[in-house]
Structure 1
Amino acid sequence: MKLLVPVLFIIIGISSFVTIGTTSKKDSEAIVWKDTLMADREKYLKAYKDSIRGKENVAADSVFKNIKVLKGKSAEQVLSIMNSWGHALGVTCKFCHDLNNFASEKPRHFNQTREMFDMTNRLNREILASLKTFRQPVVMGCISCHNEMKEPPHDGPKVQGNGARPRPGN
Protein backbone atom coordinates (compact mmCIF):
# COMPACT_ATOMS: atom_id res chain seq x y z
CA MET A 1 0.00 0.00 0.00
CA LYS A 2 2.87 2.35 0.88
CA LEU A 3 4.38 1.73 -2.56
CA LEU A 4 1.07 2.04 -4.43
CA VAL A 5 0.44 5.73 -3.59
CA PRO A 6 3.82 7.06 -4.87
CA VAL A 7 3.52 4.90 -8.00
CA LEU A 8 0.04 6.35 -8.68
CA PHE A 9 1.39 9.89 -8.27
CA ILE A 10 4.18 9.14 -10.74
CA ILE A 11 1.73 7.67 -13.27
CA ILE A 12 -0.62 10.65 -12.92
CA GLY A 13 2.31 13.06 -13.27
CA ILE A 14 3.62 11.40 -16.40
CA SER A 15 0.18 11.21 -17.99
CA SER A 16 -0.45 14.91 -17.30
CA PHE A 17 2.84 15.84 -19.02
CA VAL A 18 1.91 13.69 -21.99
CA THR A 19 -1.53 15.31 -22.37
CA ILE A 20 -0.08 18.83 -22.11
CA GLY A 21 1.93 18.26 -25.27
CA THR A 22 -0.96 16.83 -27.31
CA THR A 23 -2.41 20.18 -28.45
CA SER A 24 -2.30 19.97 -32.21
CA LYS A 25 -0.94 22.72 -34.43
CA LYS A 26 -4.47 23.29 -35.77
CA ASP A 27 -5.84 23.73 -32.21
CA SER A 28 -3.11 26.18 -31.27
CA GLU A 29 -3.68 28.15 -34.51
CA ALA A 30 -7.40 28.33 -33.68
CA ILE A 31 -6.60 29.64 -30.20
CA VAL A 32 -4.27 32.29 -31.64
CA TRP A 33 -6.90 33.22 -34.27
CA LYS A 34 -9.57 33.70 -31.59
CA ASP A 35 -7.17 35.82 -29.54
CA THR A 36 -6.48 37.93 -32.64
CA LEU A 37 -10.20 38.45 -33.29
CA MET A 38 -10.80 39.38 -29.67
CA ALA A 39 -7.84 41.78 -29.70
CA ASP A 40 -9.17 43.43 -32.86
CA ARG A 41 -12.65 43.90 -31.36
CA GLU A 42 -11.15 45.21 -28.13
CA LYS A 43 -9.09 47.76 -30.09
CA TYR A 44 -12.26 49.23 -31.62
CA LEU A 45 -14.17 48.97 -28.33
CA LYS A 46 -11.47 50.94 -26.55
CA ALA A 47 -11.52 53.62 -29.25
CA TYR A 48 -15.31 53.87 -29.06
CA LYS A 49 -15.33 53.92 -25.26
CA ASP A 50 -12.78 56.73 -25.32
CA SER A 51 -14.90 58.67 -27.82
CA ILE A 52 -18.06 58.41 -25.68
CA ARG A 53 -16.42 59.04 -22.30
CA GLY A 54 -19.01 60.65 -20.02
CA LYS A 55 -21.91 59.40 -22.18
CA GLU A 56 -21.72 55.69 -21.31
CA ASN A 57 -25.10 55.71 -19.56
CA VAL A 58 -26.87 57.90 -22.12
CA ALA A 59 -29.35 56.25 -24.50
CA ALA A 60 -27.43 54.74 -27.42
CA ASP A 61 -29.62 56.31 -30.10
CA SER A 62 -28.60 59.78 -28.86
CA VAL A 63 -24.89 58.86 -28.84
CA PHE A 64 -24.56 56.68 -31.97
CA LYS A 65 -26.05 57.12 -35.42
CA ASN A 66 -28.40 54.58 -36.99
CA ILE A 67 -29.43 52.66 -33.86
CA LYS A 68 -32.67 50.81 -34.62
CA VAL A 69 -33.10 47.55 -32.70
CA LEU A 70 -31.11 48.52 -29.62
CA LYS A 71 -33.01 51.71 -28.80
CA GLY A 72 -33.41 52.18 -25.06
CA LYS A 73 -30.06 50.57 -24.30
CA SER A 74 -27.22 52.69 -22.95
CA ALA A 75 -24.23 53.42 -25.18
CA GLU A 76 -22.09 51.16 -22.99
CA GLN A 77 -24.64 48.33 -23.27
CA VAL A 78 -24.66 48.62 -27.07
CA LEU A 79 -20.88 48.29 -27.20
CA SER A 80 -21.04 45.25 -24.93
CA ILE A 81 -23.80 43.67 -27.04
CA MET A 82 -21.87 44.30 -30.26
CA ASN A 83 -18.80 42.69 -28.73
CA SER A 84 -20.81 39.63 -27.67
CA TRP A 85 -22.30 39.35 -31.18
CA GLY A 86 -18.79 39.50 -32.64
CA HIS A 87 -17.69 36.74 -30.28
CA ALA A 88 -20.77 34.63 -31.03
CA LEU A 89 -20.08 34.81 -34.78
CA GLY A 90 -16.31 34.61 -34.49
CA VAL A 91 -15.84 37.89 -36.34
CA THR A 92 -14.41 41.35 -35.85
CA CYS A 93 -16.14 44.71 -36.23
CA LYS A 94 -15.34 44.94 -39.95
CA PHE A 95 -17.55 41.92 -40.70
CA CYS A 96 -20.63 44.11 -40.14
CA HIS A 97 -19.31 47.66 -40.21
CA ASP A 98 -17.48 50.04 -42.51
CA LEU A 99 -14.64 50.95 -40.15
CA ASN A 100 -14.56 54.52 -41.46
CA ASN A 101 -18.31 54.96 -40.92
CA PHE A 102 -19.78 52.58 -38.34
CA ALA A 103 -23.33 53.89 -39.03
CA SER A 104 -23.16 53.01 -42.73
CA GLU A 105 -25.59 50.33 -43.88
CA LYS A 106 -23.48 49.47 -46.89
CA PRO A 107 -22.28 46.11 -45.52
CA ARG A 108 -25.01 43.53 -46.18
CA HIS A 109 -25.00 42.19 -42.63
CA PHE A 110 -26.79 45.17 -41.10
CA ASN A 111 -30.33 44.16 -42.06
CA GLN A 112 -29.57 40.48 -41.60
CA THR A 113 -28.41 41.19 -38.04
CA ARG A 114 -31.58 43.16 -37.30
CA GLU A 115 -33.71 40.26 -38.56
CA MET A 116 -31.74 37.75 -36.47
CA PHE A 117 -32.10 40.01 -33.41
CA ASP A 118 -35.88 40.14 -33.93
CA MET A 119 -36.02 36.37 -34.49
CA THR A 120 -34.08 35.66 -31.30
CA ASN A 121 -36.22 38.04 -29.25
CA ARG A 122 -39.46 36.52 -30.56
CA LEU A 123 -38.15 33.01 -29.97
CA ASN A 124 -37.22 33.85 -26.37
CA ARG A 125 -40.38 35.84 -25.63
CA GLU A 126 -43.02 33.77 -27.42
CA ILE A 127 -41.79 30.18 -27.47
CA LEU A 128 -39.08 29.56 -24.90
CA ALA A 129 -40.75 31.66 -22.19
CA SER A 130 -43.76 29.33 -22.33
CA LEU A 131 -41.71 26.19 -21.59
CA LYS A 132 -42.77 24.96 -18.15
CA THR A 133 -40.62 21.86 -17.63
CA PHE A 134 -37.32 23.65 -17.02
CA ARG A 135 -36.21 24.87 -13.58
CA GLN A 136 -34.92 28.11 -15.02
CA PRO A 137 -35.81 30.10 -18.13
CA VAL A 138 -34.36 28.85 -21.41
CA VAL A 139 -32.82 31.67 -23.43
CA MET A 140 -31.27 31.52 -26.89
CA GLY A 141 -28.65 33.90 -28.20
CA CYS A 142 -26.55 34.24 -31.32
CA ILE A 143 -23.98 31.76 -30.05
CA SER A 144 -26.67 29.08 -29.62
CA CYS A 145 -26.68 28.47 -33.37
CA HIS A 146 -23.61 30.26 -34.69
CA ASN A 147 -21.15 28.82 -32.16
CA GLU A 148 -18.41 31.27 -33.18
CA MET A 149 -19.03 30.76 -36.92
CA LYS A 150 -20.23 33.35 -39.44
CA GLU A 151 -22.81 30.94 -40.83
CA PRO A 152 -24.48 28.32 -38.62
CA PRO A 153 -23.34 24.88 -39.78
CA HIS A 154 -26.78 23.32 -39.36
CA ASP A 155 -29.72 24.31 -41.46
CA GLY A 156 -32.13 21.56 -40.57
CA PRO A 157 -32.66 18.23 -42.22
CA LYS A 158 -31.83 18.05 -45.91
CA VAL A 159 -34.67 17.46 -48.36
CA GLN A 160 -34.59 13.96 -49.84
CA GLY A 161 -34.93 13.19 -53.56
CA ASN A 162 -38.75 13.04 -53.52
CA GLY A 163 -39.05 16.40 -51.74
CA ALA A 164 -40.05 14.90 -48.38
CA ARG A 165 -38.10 15.63 -45.24
CA PRO A 166 -36.44 12.56 -43.67
CA ARG A 167 -38.34 11.08 -40.76
CA PRO A 168 -36.60 10.23 -37.49
CA GLY A 169 -35.31 6.66 -37.48
CA ASN A 170 -35.24 6.32 -41.29
Structure 2
Amino acid sequence: MAPPGVRLFNSASRQVEPFVPLVPGQAGIYDCGPTVYDWQTIGNLYRYIVSDVQRRTLEYLGYRVKAVMNITDVGHIVGDVDDGEDRMMLAAKREGRDPETLAHKYTEQFMDDRRKLNILEPHVMPKATEHVPEMIHLIKRLIDTGHAYVAADGVYFDIATFRGYGTR
Protein backbone atom coordinates (compact mmCIF):
# COMPACT_ATOMS: atom_id res chain seq x y z
CA MET A 1 0.00 0.00 0.00
CA ALA A 2 1.34 3.45 -0.90
CA PRO A 3 1.91 5.98 1.88
CA PRO A 4 -0.77 8.68 2.18
CA GLY A 5 -0.40 11.99 0.39
CA VAL A 6 1.71 14.74 1.87
CA ARG A 7 1.39 18.40 1.00
CA LEU A 8 4.24 20.88 1.53
CA PHE A 9 4.69 24.61 1.06
CA ASN A 10 6.84 25.28 -2.01
CA SER A 11 8.72 28.53 -1.38
CA ALA A 12 9.43 28.92 -5.12
CA SER A 13 5.78 28.77 -6.22
CA ARG A 14 4.52 30.21 -2.90
CA GLN A 15 1.85 27.49 -2.83
CA VAL A 16 1.07 24.32 -0.92
CA GLU A 17 1.68 21.43 -3.31
CA PRO A 18 1.55 17.63 -3.17
CA PHE A 19 4.81 15.91 -2.28
CA VAL A 20 5.62 13.58 -5.17
CA PRO A 21 8.68 11.43 -4.42
CA LEU A 22 11.02 10.52 -7.26
CA VAL A 23 10.67 6.88 -6.18
CA PRO A 24 7.22 5.91 -4.85
CA GLY A 25 7.30 5.24 -1.11
CA GLN A 26 10.79 6.67 -0.66
CA ALA A 27 12.05 10.10 0.34
CA GLY A 28 15.45 11.69 0.73
CA ILE A 29 16.28 14.51 3.09
CA TYR A 30 19.50 16.48 2.75
CA ASP A 31 20.63 18.85 5.48
CA CYS A 32 23.48 21.23 4.83
CA GLY A 33 25.42 20.54 7.99
CA PRO A 34 27.50 22.98 10.00
CA THR A 35 30.95 24.37 9.39
CA VAL A 36 32.51 23.09 12.60
CA TYR A 37 34.73 25.93 13.77
CA ASP A 38 32.69 26.90 16.85
CA TRP A 39 29.72 25.91 19.02
CA GLN A 40 26.34 25.72 17.30
CA THR A 41 23.61 27.95 18.70
CA ILE A 42 20.00 26.91 19.23
CA GLY A 43 19.29 29.02 16.14
CA ASN A 44 21.69 26.82 14.16
CA LEU A 45 20.16 23.67 15.65
CA TYR A 46 16.56 24.75 14.96
CA ARG A 47 16.75 23.80 11.30
CA TYR A 48 17.84 20.27 12.24
CA ILE A 49 14.85 20.03 14.60
CA VAL A 50 12.54 21.00 11.71
CA SER A 51 14.20 18.47 9.42
CA ASP A 52 13.88 15.81 12.13
CA VAL A 53 10.13 16.48 12.41
CA GLN A 54 9.81 16.17 8.63
CA ARG A 55 11.74 12.91 8.63
CA ARG A 56 9.76 11.40 11.51
CA THR A 57 6.48 12.44 9.87
CA LEU A 58 7.42 10.83 6.56
CA GLU A 59 8.57 7.66 8.33
CA TYR A 60 5.34 7.56 10.37
CA LEU A 61 3.36 7.81 7.13
CA GLY A 62 5.22 4.81 5.75
CA TYR A 63 7.94 6.37 3.61
CA ARG A 64 11.43 4.88 3.62
CA VAL A 65 13.59 7.92 4.31
CA LYS A 66 17.31 8.32 3.68
CA ALA A 67 18.76 11.26 5.62
CA VAL A 68 22.09 12.79 4.59
CA MET A 69 23.91 15.64 6.31
CA ASN A 70 27.35 16.93 5.42
CA ILE A 71 29.96 18.31 7.81
CA THR A 72 32.10 21.16 6.50
CA ASP A 73 35.35 20.47 8.34
CA VAL A 74 37.57 22.75 6.26
CA GLY A 75 37.89 26.50 5.97
CA HIS A 76 34.83 28.59 5.34
CA ILE A 77 35.18 32.08 3.93
CA VAL A 78 32.35 34.57 3.78
CA GLY A 79 33.80 37.83 2.51
CA ASP A 80 30.91 40.10 3.41
CA VAL A 81 30.85 38.82 6.99
CA ASP A 82 34.48 38.44 8.03
CA ASP A 83 36.61 40.35 5.53
CA GLY A 84 37.47 37.18 3.61
CA GLU A 85 39.22 35.47 6.51
CA ASP A 86 39.03 31.69 6.88
CA ARG A 87 36.88 31.03 9.96
CA MET A 88 38.43 27.61 10.59
CA MET A 89 41.97 29.01 10.61
CA LEU A 90 40.95 31.95 12.84
CA ALA A 91 39.27 29.61 15.33
CA ALA A 92 42.23 27.20 15.32
CA LYS A 93 44.59 30.08 16.04
CA ARG A 94 42.27 31.42 18.77
CA GLU A 95 42.13 28.02 20.50
CA GLY A 96 45.75 27.05 19.88
CA ARG A 97 44.75 23.87 18.00
CA ASP A 98 45.29 22.56 14.51
CA PRO A 99 42.20 22.80 12.23
CA GLU A 100 41.66 19.01 12.16
CA THR A 101 41.54 18.77 15.96
CA LEU A 102 39.29 21.82 16.13
CA ALA A 103 36.88 20.35 13.55
CA HIS A 104 36.76 17.03 15.42
CA LYS A 105 36.01 18.78 18.73
CA TYR A 106 33.13 20.83 17.32
CA THR A 107 31.74 17.95 15.25
CA GLU A 108 31.52 15.82 18.40
CA GLN A 109 29.93 18.71 20.32
CA PHE A 110 27.40 19.29 17.51
CA MET A 111 26.43 15.61 17.43
CA ASP A 112 26.14 15.57 21.24
CA ASP A 113 23.85 18.62 21.08
CA ARG A 114 21.70 16.85 18.46
CA ARG A 115 21.41 13.79 20.72
CA LYS A 116 20.38 15.98 23.68
CA LEU A 117 17.60 17.40 21.48
CA ASN A 118 16.60 13.84 20.46
CA ILE A 119 17.32 14.51 16.78
CA LEU A 120 17.74 11.30 14.81
CA GLU A 121 21.21 10.59 13.40
CA PRO A 122 21.60 10.95 9.63
CA HIS A 123 22.06 7.73 7.69
CA VAL A 124 25.05 9.23 5.88
CA MET A 125 27.31 12.02 7.16
CA PRO A 126 30.11 12.84 4.70
CA LYS A 127 32.84 15.26 5.71
CA ALA A 128 34.12 17.79 3.19
CA THR A 129 37.73 16.67 3.76
CA GLU A 130 36.76 13.16 2.64
CA HIS A 131 35.68 14.43 -0.79
CA VAL A 132 38.22 17.07 -1.85
CA PRO A 133 39.32 15.20 -5.03
CA GLU A 134 35.68 14.93 -6.16
CA MET A 135 35.11 18.64 -5.49
CA ILE A 136 38.20 19.58 -7.50
CA HIS A 137 37.05 17.34 -10.37
CA LEU A 138 33.57 18.92 -10.35
CA ILE A 139 34.98 22.45 -10.26
CA LYS A 140 37.28 21.69 -13.21
CA ARG A 141 34.34 20.22 -15.12
CA LEU A 142 32.20 23.30 -14.43
CA ILE A 143 34.99 25.58 -15.65
CA ASP A 144 35.65 23.43 -18.74
CA THR A 145 31.96 23.47 -19.71
CA GLY A 146 31.60 27.22 -19.18
CA HIS A 147 29.41 26.97 -16.08
CA ALA A 148 32.02 28.47 -13.74
CA TYR A 149 34.79 31.02 -14.03
CA VAL A 150 37.97 31.85 -12.16
CA ALA A 151 38.25 35.22 -10.41
CA ALA A 152 41.07 36.69 -8.34
CA ASP A 153 39.50 35.43 -5.11
CA GLY A 154 38.13 32.06 -6.20
CA VAL A 155 35.92 30.16 -8.61
CA TYR A 156 32.33 31.21 -9.15
CA PHE A 157 29.33 29.41 -10.66
CA ASP A 158 27.88 31.37 -13.60
CA ILE A 159 24.13 31.36 -12.96
CA ALA A 160 23.48 32.78 -16.44
CA THR A 161 24.45 29.37 -17.86
CA PHE A 162 21.87 27.51 -15.76
CA ARG A 163 18.50 27.74 -17.47
CA GLY A 164 15.74 28.27 -14.94
CA TYR A 165 18.07 29.27 -12.11
CA GLY A 166 16.04 30.74 -9.26
CA THR A 167 12.69 29.56 -10.60
CA ARG A 168 12.37 26.37 -8.56
TM-score between the two structures when normalised by the length of structure 2: 0.24
Say which structure is richer in helix.
1
1 or 2 for the larger relative contact order (CA 8 Å, sep ≥6)? 2
Larger radius of gyration: 1
